[in-house]
Amino acid sequence: MPTGSLKDRASAIVTARALETGVARIIAASTGNAGVAQAAMANAAGISAVVVVPETAPKGKVAQLVVFGAELLLVKGNYDAAFELALRASAELGWYCRNTAYNPFSAEGKKTVAFEICEQLAAELGPPKSGQGWRAPDRIFVSVGDGNIISGLHKGLKDLHALGWIDRMPKLVGVQSEGSAAVANAFAAGTETITPVTATTIADSISADRPADGVRAVRAARQTEGVIIKVSDQQILDAIVALGRDATIFAEPAASAAYAGLLAQVDAKAVDPEEQVVVLVTGNGLKDVASASRATAEPPHIEPTVEALQQALAVTRGTR
Ligand SMILES: *Cc1c(COP(=O)(O)O)cnc(C)c1O
């Protein structure tokens, strides 16, 4: 993840496609990460990238966009408004549109994470019982906004299964924020009809009123005997800290949501302790330091003396 999110996989493949077809300018709507990834890949390839993001996007992502040289426009509106704008601009101005799920190469890029998981599990644990090929975990947790990552993951796993490189399909567990749960709602209602919501969540990367890949996300869970669940913003913030302490990984809120989902499913005894579980941590915590700060207490400020240090840490002389 050279720009710090799983969106790099999608943008790399979209950019390869753009080079193949001789495109000079790409337009991308994004909550931040997809735009950052597209700006970086396009810059490396010598293609212009117009990126439209909500003006409320986290500062870290906006800074990355500017540094990578995107033609960046901050939209007075939410992600769905930016998405719609990019589609219209693409149609009227003839630019290549990278929008997630609208561009089929986005899922093709994201599916490569399935290959990496199964290849690395085989390398680490040895081949599966059948004695050859790669190894699938029992369950994969992935956060869901548009639903493109879980759709790509599903497609990659289906490809491996069809080739006989894995002997079974893992259960896919999609995790949404309560405040942006159009896909989870459809799953719970047993339908593929995605009813838009008015999304509000601290996890900006999974905030979508009208998830662009909602139908395929519901199918990914249903066809693998998985589930789409929701977690609260507080669970997401708590999971930033839990992931830091349990796994020494610093995640942005949308990424810690997947871990919050695992913790909730373990609590609900929906996951067997013997299972092999993979949690996709899709975005780096440095992208949204403000949220990490909200998840943690302000550390003590001290005078630069050993006495003050001891007092603050409540340790006495001779303590190791
Ligand atoms: C985009 C993104 C997601 C969600 O992916 P979708 O394809 O929109 O479901 C999750 N986490 C991070 C960090 C993201 O940038």
- State residue 18's pLDDT score: 97
Q: What is the mean pLDDT of residues 29-52?
A: 97
The CA distance from 268 to 263, in Å, is: 9
Q: Please determine, for residue 316, whether its predicted confidence score (pLDDT) is greater than 80.
A: no
Instruction: Dig out the tokens for 40 from the structure.
Output: 């970086």
Interval between CA 204 and ligand 1 midpoint (Å): 9
- The CATH code that applies to domain 7-103 is 3.40.50.1100
Average pLDDT over residues 184-211: 97
**Domain locations along the chain:** 7-103, 111-295
Question: With a 6 A CB cut-off, is 7 part of the ligand 1 pocket?
Answer: yes
Question: Which pLDDT does position 170 carry in this prediction?
Answer: 98
Identical fold, 7-103 and 111-295: yes
Taking residue 307's Cβ as centre, other Cβ atoms within 10 Å add up to: 9
pLDDT at 118 over 70: yes
* 77 conformational bin, left if phi > 0, alpha if psi -120 to 50, beta if neither: left
Pairwise CA distance, residues 144 & 113, whole Å = 15
CA angle 122, 279, 11 (to 5 degrees): 90
Give the CATH fold of the 111-295 domain: Rossmann fold (3.40.50)
Going by pLDDT thresholds of 50, 70 and 90, the confidence category of residue 129 is: confident
Mean pLDDT of 76-91: 97
Percent composition of the chain: helix, strand, coil (DSSP 3-state, to 5) = 50, 15, 35
Using the structure block, give the residue that is written with the tokens 């207490």: 297
pLDDT band at 124 (very low <50, low <70, confident <90, very high): very high
Q: What is the pLDDT of residues 243-276, one digit of tens each?
A: 999 999 999 999 999 999 999 999 999 999 999 9
Q: Are 97 and 114 in contact (CB under 8 A)?
A: no
The arithmetic mean of pLDDT across residues 145-155, rounded, is 98
**Per-residue confidence (pLDDT) for residue 319, from 0 to 100:** 65
The pLDDT score that the predictor gives to residue 131 is 67
Asked if residue 32 has its Cβ within 6 Å of ligand 1, the reply is no
Cβ of residue 236 lying under 6 Å from some atom of ligand 1:
no
For residue 259, the Cα-to-chain-centroid distance in whole angstroms is: 12
Share of the chain above pLDDT 90, in %: 95
Q: Which two tokens stand for residue 216?
A: 């395929």
Expressed in angstroms and rounded, the spacing between residue 6 Cα and the centre of ligand 1 is: 7
Pocket of ligand 1 contains residue 103 by CB under 6 Å:
no
144: which 2 tokens? 């869901």
Distance between CA 300 and CA 162 in Å, rounded? 56
Ligand 1 centroid distance, CA of 96 (Å):
21
Ligand 1: residue of 111, 149, 229, 280 to mutate (most ligand atoms within 8 A of CB) is 149
Query: What ranges in 79-232 are assigned the alpha helix state H?
Result: 79-93, 104-110, 112-125, 148-163, 182-188, 214-223
Which residues are CB-contacts of 313 (< 8 A; sequence separation ≥ 6)? none
Q: Are 206 and 143 in contact (CB under 8 A)?
A: yes
The pLDDT of residue 127:
81
- For residue 273, report the distance from its CA to the centre of ligand 1, in Å: 27
Expressed in angstroms and rounded, the spacing between residue 114 Cα and the centre of ligand 1 is 15
Structure confidence at residue 126 (pLDDT): 86
Band (pLDDT 50/70/90 cuts) for residue 130 is: confident
Mean pLDDT for all residues in the chain: 96
For residue 320, the model assigns a pLDDT of 65
Higher pLDDT, 132 or 202: 202
Is the CB of 282 within 6 Å of ligand 1?
yes
> Between 183 and 131, where is the model more confident?
183
Summarize the confidence of residues 71-93 as an average pLDDT: 97
Joined tokens for residue 187: 């799953």
Instruction: Report the distance separating Cα 21 and Cα 3, nearest Å.
Output: 25
Count Cα neighbours of 212 within 13 Å in the Cβ-side half-sphere.
24
Does residue 99's CB lie within 6 angstroms of at least one atom of ligand 1? no
What's the pLDDT tens digit per position in 88-115?
999 999 999 999 999 999 999 999 999 9
Residue entry with tokens 């439209």: 52
222-250 per-position pLDDT tens digit: 999 999 999 999 999 999 999 999 999 99
